[in-house]
A = this chain, B = another copy of it.
């Protein structure tokens, strides 16, 4: 029985290509004392990983060339040399894109299929749901009656942001890239309005119409032209949690130009803050509790786009940048057939 892994083969210029990734086979390693062997069930692919493929300073170090790419993984313990886990336990961890991971037990978290489906630990009650929760609640701080705009609204983070904002009593407007997505936002998730930026000739006008009282919170996942348009609609004391800028992840650093926003921020005394989930490491239980509670109460819906088969990990990752997914993009390692 061999392990299969996906290595970072070359650093992409622009969009990752076939040459970016390399599949490799190797013997499965044996866990040492305090470690377990985990068989991958779901692998998470996320836009932030694109940044780690560059050799540049950021909040996480770059992926080393020639080594296995890492990310969120849910799997099953198939061999344990730790008191913390038994064979058959399901666990969540930051592990490699490979069929089998040897992991330190104390870096894994047990997950329970009876509370939520395994995939949810990588989506609504996992990293993306928690990112939505803390960015919106801690930086955005929505108040009832305020207007919240979210870009990348049909994505794993955006779709949860909008629903939490609705729970807080806000007027919620989503921006997404297809009619299927905008329909889902308004008809299924309860967004007050949604704008398909790909078919909207004038985003500024569309935003004015969808946000008659201006924008109090802009939860930004995309950057670029879309953010430029939203910035024109800021109310006084607007708050802008900066979660992502997927529009620029495949661009060379510094090559991205647009309207300068500082004057607008002064005039409106607005606040922009970049954040990552790691900034809230000490508050994760609070976020997990609230998300779990809203989920149980039926206030929070979530969608997952799941590709099946380990071979499809690169394809799933690339689709993030084509915007084909609704909700969280995941790979199920074994096909269901």
How many Å from the CB of A292 to the closest CB on chain B?
Answer: 26
The reply to whether B263 and A269 form a contact with Cβ atoms under 8 Å apart is no
CB within 8 Å for A224 and B260 given contacts A51-B267, A57-B267, A266-B243: yes
A242 beta carbon closer than 8 Å to chain B: yes
Indicate whether A58 reaches chain B with its CB closer than 8 angstroms: yes
CB distance from A185 to the nearest CB of B (A): 23
Flag whether A305 is at the interface (Cβ < 8 A). no
CA gap between A268 and B187 in the complex, in Å: 37
A265: chain B residues within 8 A (beta carbon): 242, 272-274
- A258 contacts chain B at the CB level, 8 A cutoff: yes
Residue A147 at the B interface, CB < 8 A? no
- The docked-state distance in angstroms from the alpha carbon of A256 to that of B228 is 12
Pairwise interchain contact B245-A263, C-beta atoms closer than 8 A: yes
Contacts of A232 in B (CB 8 A): 254
Q: Which of A263-282 contact B (CB under 8 A)?
A: 263, 265-276, 279
Judge whether A298 is part of the interface by a CB distance below 8 angstroms: no
**Bound form: Cα–Cα A275–B236 in Å:** 10
A242 partner, pick from B59, B245, B258, B262, beta carbons under 8 A: B262
A44-79 with Cβ < 8 A to chain B: 51, 57-59
Task: Provide the bound-state CA to CA distance between A220 and B272, in Å.
Answer: 15
Q: Are A260 and B269 within 8 A (Cβ)?
A: no
Interface digits, A126-157 against B, CB 8 Å rule (1 contact, 0 not)? Answer: 00000000000000000000000000000000
Interface size class of A (residues with CB under 8 A): 35 or more
How distant is the Cα of A223 from the Cα of B265 in the complex, in angstroms? 11
Q: In this assembly, does A259 line the interface, its C-beta being within 8 Å of a C-beta of chain B?
A: yes
A205 to chain B, nearest CB (A): 14
Q: Indicate if A227 sits at the interface (CB-CB under 8 A).
A: yes
- A236 lies within 8 A of B59 (CB): yes
Tell me the bound Cα distance from A276 to B268 in angstroms.
Answer: 9
* B227:A262 contact, CB within 8 angstroms: yes
- A258/B260 in contact, CB under 8 A: yes
Report chain B residues within 8 Å CB of A267. 51, 57-59, 274
CA distance A279 to B270 in the complex (A): 12
Q: Which residue of B lies closest to A251 (CB)?
A: B263
B260 touches A256 (CB 8 A): yes
Q: Closest residue of chain B to A265, judged by CB?
A: B274
Give A322 Cβ to nearest chain B Cβ, in Å: 20
* A244, CB-defined interface residue at 8 Å: yes
Minimum CB–CB distance for A191 against chain B, Å: 23
A265 to B263, CA, bound (A): 17
Q: How far apart are A14's CB and chain B's nearest CB, in angstroms?
A: 15
Q: Is A1 an interface residue (CB 8 A)?
A: no
**Residue of A51, A254, A271, A272 with most partner-chain B CB within 10 A:** A272
Given contacts A271-B274, A272-B265, contact A260 B223 (CB under 8 A): yes
CB distance from A307 to the nearest CB of B (A): 27
Q: What residue in chain B is nearest A220 (Cβ atoms)?
A: B262
- A53 nearest CB across to chain B (Å): 14
- Can you list the 4 inter-chain pairs with the closest CB atoms, starting with the nearest? A266-B274, A265-B274, A271-B273, A58-B267
